[in-house]
Homo-oligomer: A and B are copies of this chain.
Amino acid sequence: MAQDDKVMLGHGSGGSMMRRIIDDVFLEAYGSDELLEGNDAAVLPAPAPGQRIACSTDSFVVSPLFFPGGDIGHLAVCGTVNDVATSGAKPAYLTCGFILEEGLLMDDLRRICRSMAEVAKEADVRIVTGDTKVVNRGHGDGVFINTSGIGFVPEGVDLSGANIKPGDAIIVSGTLGDHGITIMSCREGLGFSADIRSDAAPLNHMIASVMQAAPHVRCFRDPTRGGIASTLNELAEQSGVEIVVEEELVPVKPAVAGACEMLGYDVLQVANEGKMVCAVPADEAEAALSAMRSSKYGEDACVIGHAEAVDAGGKPRVLLKTAFGGTRILDMLVGEQLPRIC
């Protein structure tokens, strides 16, 4: 219908136009049994006995909406799937809330929804309930998406950023900085290189393999906003350890390293959307690495450092042993580097 080429305020009205966008766009892309029931809440089966529930939420405001390697919809599914999976849970269900700006092209929304459906299928999760709001032109920016995720933690699994012990190996699942530099490049029209694309990916299957291969794995965390520097600082503080990273071991694509140098960014503070950091006891590091490397999204996995005890009177921190043999403190990102990266 011609009047539905663009999103209008009426599509968020709760009335017949909203019904149409739900049927024609959302259900068309990812209609699940629960969504088709049309109730205000989705009712989901009881988990298996002993399983705990993991939940996480993330809003996505990335600009631009489409970029090499993904789009906001793809990112919204991957981001929440990955957050739920870091707890050791098997992600199962997603909720999806859209905040649309009046005037958004309906075809762009369809493309975003198809992308969500595709990666949800890959991650083996279902979108079971949703919500749509429309804000007047100039009060939003195309599309914002919130996804919340529910998963189930098997009995006996207890992963936490607070579990790291001195001696543990710190592993990263692949090259760093790809997502952040891709968005930056799109946004500023820098066009660095055809090699640069977002790494956004659902990592739940990879995490499950690592958990099987390295049963004493301590924790997973995805180094998104703030980059691996912020993630490692969080982990050091939660666990009360010092984390030592060897710069030479950190995997970075040459094109990304070049872009960071040009822009004056520290790649360790640049966002990733398809990478996982994990800490494992040293004697399970090889097994964890080989599980990661046999996953589609973990081919470049490597050990980048290890945890140490904090000196008496010292505080948890992250140290970087530089390629030149020096050592410096690796801080959390301060201020803002690349707004609206996810």
Q: How far is the CA of A302 from the CA of B333 in the complex (A)?
A: 57
From B128, B140, B148, B160, A141 is in contact (CB under 8 Å) with: B140
Query: A186 within 8 Å of B by Cβ?
Result: no
Are the C-beta atoms of A61 and B97 separated by less than 8 Å? no
A113 to chain B, nearest CB (A): 16
Are the C-beta atoms of B141 and A135 separated by less than 8 Å? yes
Q: Mark A53-66, 1 if CB is under 8 A from B, else 0.
A: 11111111101000
From B40, B271, B331, B333, A83 is in contact (CB under 8 Å) with: B40
A65 to chain B, nearest CB (A): 12
Which residue of chain B lies nearest to A162 when distances are taken between CB atoms in the complex?
Answer: B37
Given contact pairs A13-B337, A38-B238, A97 touches B225 in the complex (Cβ within 8 A): no
Query: A177 within 8 Å of B by Cβ?
Result: no
Query: A304 within 8 Å of B by Cβ?
Result: no
Given contact pairs A58-B131, A95-B148, A225-B14, A46 touches B47 in the complex (Cβ within 8 A): yes
Interface size class of A (residues with CB under 8 A): 35 or more
Copies per complex of this chain: 2
Q: How far is the CA of A86 from the CA of B40 in the complex (A)?
A: 7
A46 to chain B, nearest CB (A): 5
A175 to chain B, nearest CB (A): 19
Q: How far is the CA of A251 from the CA of B81 in the complex (A)?
A: 45
Q: Which of A241-263 contact B (CB under 8 A)?
A: none
A71 to chain B, nearest CB (A): 17
A278 to chain B, nearest CB (A): 13
Are the C-beta atoms of B129 and A56 separated by less than 8 Å? yes
> Which chain B positions have C-beta within 8 A of A161?
38-39
Are the C-beta atoms of B42 and A56 separated by less than 8 Å? yes
> Which chain B positions have C-beta within 8 A of A45?
52-53
Are the C-beta atoms of A97 and B238 separated by less than 8 Å? no
> Which chain B positions have C-beta within 8 A of A87?
39-41, 43
Query: A73 within 8 Å of B by Cβ?
Result: no
Are the C-beta atoms of B333 and A59 separated by less than 8 Å? no
Known: A41-B89, A56-B129, A135-B339. 16 other contacts (CB 8 A): A10-B336, A13-B225, A13-B335, A13-B336, A14-B224, A14-B226, A15-B230, A17-B334, A19-B332, A41-B56, A43-B54, A44-B53, A58-B97, A58-B131, A133-B340, A136-B339
